[in-house]
A and B are shown apart, each in its own frame.
Chain A
Amino acid sequence: MLLPCFILKSTFFPFLPPNYRLASSYLNMSKRHGDNTFYGQMLRSAKKIRTSSSWILLPVEVRSMILEEITLQKHPGWASCAAVCKEWRAVIERKNFHRLTLQASCLEGLENIVIRQRDLVQYICLNIELPRYTCRSCQQTESMSWSSRHFSITSKAILKLFSVLSSWQPTGCLILELNAYSLSDSQHWFKNYHFGLEHEDFGDLVQQQEDTTRWHDPKHGWVNGQQVEAPCAQAILRLFYPICLSLPKNIPEVHAVTGFVLRRQLRRQISPAALWLLWERLPRLENIVYEPWRVWRRTWKIVYDRGKLLYRPPI
């Protein structure tokens, strides 16, 4: 934001506070008054500005640059800026709804809340949260009851997502990503692995390296940031255990989705047969990014190859 910063401070707009960028000055209010009052302050400020006409006096390009800056800074509560006026709403909502990252529990909300903004959504990532586990099972492969619980959670979440999206009309591009992990995955043996949302921000490498050196958990092979013991085979196989072998055949068609993404951060396996079925239910699908983990277990390999080759979609 160097350019507007320079312009705003220069002689073009001498009425602005000398040490503040316009957008920053709004946002800094929340720091002074706390986030709860930020919204009210903002509205009052916006009103004040409207009466003195200073915001309106700004050229459209500069106003749009300021609004863009708000969407880049993503200060807590930034999305509520959409309520200021139609001009603000257009910019803020476009950025806010561009990419949605959802837990399975958010899917009701997706159905009921995101209605007018559907056209703005271009990326939906469904993070299926799997149950936490304790040290009683972190070194054991999943029990039958545990894995059937995973099958049920995954299948329900995917079915719900497809049901909600089936009512969305096709507009432009809409990419759908599936991910699943348990918060316990990174708390036992696999501290250095990236799993989901909280591992997508690569901003501060130095901070992350410092975090690494703080890992000290001898029970799981980590001593003063050093991995001194590799996880046992059962712990590894647990992390890569299948969570979805098949899906109900009546899963609805979704016409709005044009892209499908399954990234390598999903360690657990969704069988090819289930994926083929999903892809078949996406009649406008054009792009696929598929980063599965290599299947190491011989028995799974056989099942997977069969799934890849012998599966025939139902007529």
Chain B
Amino acid sequence: MIQEALPSHVRTVSVFEEFNDQLVLALSSDTPYLSMIDPSPSASPMLVKALASKSRNFERLSISYMIDAQQFFKSCQLSYIWHHLQSLTLTSSILTQTAPQKEISDLLCDASLAALNMPQLESMVFWNSKHGEACAVIYQRKKGSGHASLTWRGTWDLELSRDVVMSWQKVASDSYHLRIKNERVHGLINSHGDAIHHLRLPTGVIDPVSLRQIRQEGMMQRMA
């Protein structure tokens, strides 16, 4: 299992499953290959379960596109305690402009329950992007500052529900004042690289050179 394969001394893991919709389109339009192609993310439920369990050993974990945050929290057991985890970043396909707000709230409430068992947590981020839109929900708590914040940042506005705010106030604890922020992102989102850039996601989501490559390839693709 993945638990055995990843050495126990690994502290920081950043996984970014890269994809290109134009290539998938080209593959799918080539009839003999149509049945051979499956454009969905590659993680099986077993892998998600293994990663959720393994995450208890990490200090910083970021997984983009390989698994979905909804699956991740559903795979976490109530008894899990993340003694070391300071930062967690995940993508979720539910974070779209057309998704029912109830489902987004459910994800954020599930996440807050897990976050209660992360005593060192300083940052938890959920994000997603597709052509033309991008959004992120960012929880941050600076140790010793007395301040915590829960930010909605996206190409559209979304008011975080009362349940969500209350559940994250619990995570921040009584000694921290939780500020709720709503920030609108302006900028063209043509690639997931543009999304990471405009959402000002924390470092560790993707290698900085890779980010520049994605944005530049996207730009050249547009020019092409």
Contact = CB atoms under 8 A, between A and B. Distances in A.
A287 B10 contact: yes
Contacts of A313: 4-5
Contacts of A192: 217, 220-221, 224
B35 to A, nearest CB: 8
A212 B223 contact: yes
A10 interface: no
B32 interface: yes
Interface in B52-92: 65
Nearest to B5: A276
Contacts of A265: 209-210, 213
A298 B38 CA distance: 6
Contact of A285 (B9, B15, B17, B27): B9
A296 B221 contact: no
B223 A209 contact: yes
Chain B interface residue number, banded: 35 or more
A59 B5 CA distance: 53
Interface string A252-270: 0000000001011100000
B6 A279 contact: yes
A202 B5 contact: no
Contacts of A285: 7, 9-10
A296 B17 CA distance: 12
B39 interface: yes
B15 A263 contact: no
Nearest to B32: A233
B213 A226 contact: no
Kindly list the 7 A-B residue pairs having the minimum CB-CB distance in the complex, ordered from nearest. A276-B5, A233-B30, A227-B224, A192-B220, A233-B33, A230-B26, A264-B18
Given A226-B223, A264-B16, A288-B13, 17 more contacts: A192-B224, A200-B209, A232-B30, A233-B26, A233-B32, A236-B27, A279-B5, A280-B5, A280-B7, A285-B7, A287-B12, A290-B14, A291-B210, A292-B15, A296-B39, A299-B36, A308-B47
